Protein backbone atom coordinates (compact mmCIF):
# COMPACT_ATOMS: atom_id res chain seq x y z
CA UNK A 1 0.00 0.00 0.00
CA UNK A 2 1.63 3.25 -1.05
CA UNK A 3 1.31 6.65 0.57
CA UNK A 4 -2.18 8.08 0.63
CA UNK A 5 -3.83 4.79 -0.26
CA UNK A 6 -6.81 3.33 1.46
CA UNK A 7 -9.02 0.37 0.80
CA UNK A 8 -12.60 -0.22 1.79
CA UNK A 9 -14.04 -3.61 2.67
CA UNK A 10 -17.80 -3.78 2.75
CA UNK A 11 -19.14 -6.44 5.13
CA UNK A 12 -22.77 -7.27 5.79
CA UNK A 13 -22.59 -5.26 8.99
CA UNK A 14 -20.53 -2.24 7.89
CA UNK A 15 -17.35 -0.91 6.31
CA UNK A 16 -13.74 -1.60 7.31
CA UNK A 17 -11.34 0.98 5.94
CA UNK A 18 -7.61 0.21 5.72
CA UNK A 19 -5.27 3.20 5.80
CA UNK A 20 -1.56 3.29 4.96
CA UNK A 21 0.94 4.26 7.68
CA UNK A 22 1.66 7.77 6.30
CA UNK A 23 -2.05 8.62 6.28
CA UNK A 24 -2.48 7.35 9.83
CA UNK A 25 0.56 9.33 10.99
CA UNK A 26 -0.81 12.50 9.35
CA UNK A 27 -4.28 12.06 10.85
CA UNK A 28 -2.78 11.29 14.27
CA UNK A 29 -0.52 14.35 14.13
CA UNK A 30 -3.49 16.56 13.17
CA UNK A 31 -5.56 15.02 16.00
CA UNK A 32 -8.21 13.80 13.55
CA UNK A 33 -8.22 10.24 14.90
CA UNK A 34 -7.52 8.24 18.03
CA UNK A 35 -5.13 5.35 17.38
CA UNK A 36 -6.10 2.20 19.31
CA UNK A 37 -3.43 -0.49 19.71
CA UNK A 38 -5.07 -3.89 20.25
CA UNK A 39 -1.84 -5.81 20.93
CA UNK A 40 -0.96 -7.24 24.34
CA UNK A 41 0.30 -4.99 27.13
CA UNK A 42 3.79 -6.52 26.86
CA UNK A 43 3.96 -5.85 23.10
CA UNK A 44 2.84 -2.28 23.68
CA UNK A 45 5.32 -1.77 26.55
CA UNK A 46 8.22 -2.95 24.38
CA UNK A 47 7.41 -0.62 21.45
CA UNK A 48 4.43 1.42 20.30
CA UNK A 49 3.37 4.44 18.27
CA UNK A 50 3.57 7.54 20.44
CA UNK A 51 0.04 8.71 21.22
CA UNK A 52 -1.59 5.32 20.59
CA UNK A 53 -3.92 4.08 23.31
CA UNK A 54 -3.69 0.47 24.46
CA UNK A 55 -6.94 -1.52 24.34
CA UNK A 56 -5.95 -5.21 24.08
CA UNK A 57 -7.98 -7.47 21.85
CA UNK A 58 -8.54 -9.84 24.79
CA UNK A 59 -10.49 -7.14 26.67
CA UNK A 60 -11.88 -5.23 23.70
CA UNK A 61 -15.49 -4.05 23.81
CA UNK A 62 -16.62 -1.73 21.00
CA UNK A 63 -19.04 -0.03 23.38
CA UNK A 64 -16.11 1.30 25.43
CA UNK A 65 -14.17 3.03 22.64
CA UNK A 66 -13.31 6.67 23.35
CA UNK A 67 -15.61 9.20 21.74
CA UNK A 68 -14.78 12.46 20.02
CA UNK A 69 -12.48 11.34 17.22
CA UNK A 70 -12.83 8.39 14.86
CA UNK A 71 -10.84 5.36 16.04
CA UNK A 72 -8.19 3.66 13.92
CA UNK A 73 -7.22 0.18 15.09
CA UNK A 74 -3.71 -1.26 14.89
CA UNK A 75 -1.82 -4.39 15.89
CA UNK A 76 1.42 -6.03 14.79
CA UNK A 77 0.41 -7.11 11.29
CA UNK A 78 -3.26 -6.04 10.84
CA UNK A 79 -4.63 -9.52 11.54
CA UNK A 80 -5.88 -8.81 15.08
CA UNK A 81 -6.98 -5.28 14.23
CA UNK A 82 -9.06 -6.68 11.36
CA UNK A 83 -10.76 -9.18 13.70
CA UNK A 84 -11.48 -6.36 16.16
CA UNK A 85 -12.79 -4.20 13.31
CA UNK A 86 -15.17 -7.02 12.36
CA UNK A 87 -16.39 -7.10 15.98
CA UNK A 88 -16.95 -3.33 15.86
CA UNK A 89 -19.13 -3.40 12.76
CA UNK A 90 -20.97 -6.48 14.05
CA UNK A 91 -21.72 -4.47 17.22
CA UNK A 92 -23.38 -1.74 15.17
CA UNK A 93 -20.61 0.65 14.18
CA UNK A 94 -21.30 1.53 10.54
CA UNK A 95 -17.58 1.98 9.78
CA UNK A 96 -14.17 1.53 11.40
CA UNK A 97 -10.60 1.99 10.15
CA UNK A 98 -7.39 0.06 10.69
CA UNK A 99 -3.69 0.58 10.00
CA UNK A 100 -2.82 -1.51 6.94
CA UNK A 101 0.08 -3.86 7.63
CA UNK A 102 0.02 -2.96 11.32
CA UNK A 103 3.00 -1.88 13.37
CA UNK A 104 5.33 -3.82 11.03
CA UNK A 105 4.28 -1.56 8.13
CA UNK A 106 4.65 1.52 10.36
CA UNK A 107 8.26 0.57 11.15
CA UNK A 108 8.99 -0.44 7.55
CA UNK A 109 7.84 3.04 6.46
CA UNK A 110 10.48 4.51 8.80
CA UNK A 111 7.92 6.31 10.94
CA UNK A 112 8.77 7.22 14.55
CA UNK A 113 7.78 5.10 17.53
CA UNK A 114 8.74 4.59 21.15
CA UNK A 115 10.79 1.59 22.23
CA UNK A 116 12.73 0.46 25.28
CA UNK A 117 16.44 1.22 25.34
CA UNK A 118 18.00 -2.03 26.60
CA UNK A 119 20.98 -0.20 28.07
CA UNK A 120 18.92 2.05 30.32
CA UNK A 121 15.45 0.49 30.45
CA UNK A 122 13.93 3.83 29.56
CA UNK A 123 11.79 4.77 26.57
CA UNK A 124 13.46 6.26 23.51
CA UNK A 125 12.27 7.37 20.12
CA UNK A 126 13.15 5.21 17.11
CA UNK A 127 14.27 4.92 14.39
Q: Tell whether the model's pLDDT for residue 3 goes beyond 70.
A: no
Task: State how far the Cα of 28 lies from the Cα of 41, in Å rounded to an integer.
Answer: 21
* pTM, entire model: 0.91
Q: According to the model, what pLDDT value does residue 65 have?
A: 94
Q: Tell whether the model's pLDDT for residue 2 goes beyond 70.
A: no
Q: Tell whether the model's pLDDT for residue 13 goes beyond 80.
A: no
**What contacts 20, CB < 8 A, 6 or more positions away?**
1, 2, 3, 4, 5, 6, 100, 101, 105, 109
Q: According to the model, what pLDDT value does residue 57 have?
A: 97
Q: Give the domains, in start order, of the chain with CATH numbers.
A: 6-113 (3.40.250.10)
Q: Order of strands, edge to edge, in the sheet holding 113-116?
A: 47-48, 113-116, 123-126
Encode pLDDT of 24-65 as tens digits.
999 999 999 999 999 999 999 999 999 999 999 999 999 999
Q: According to the model, what pLDDT value does residue 6 have?
A: 75
Instruction: Look at residue 54 and give its three-state secondary structure.
Output: strand
Cα–Cα distances in angstroms (integers) from residue 37 to residues 11, 41, 54, 80, 98, in the given order: 22, 9, 5, 10, 10
Amino acid sequence: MSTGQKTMEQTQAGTIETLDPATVQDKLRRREIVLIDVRTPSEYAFEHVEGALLYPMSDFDPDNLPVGRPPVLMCGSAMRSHRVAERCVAAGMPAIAQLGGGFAAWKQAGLPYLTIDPATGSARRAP
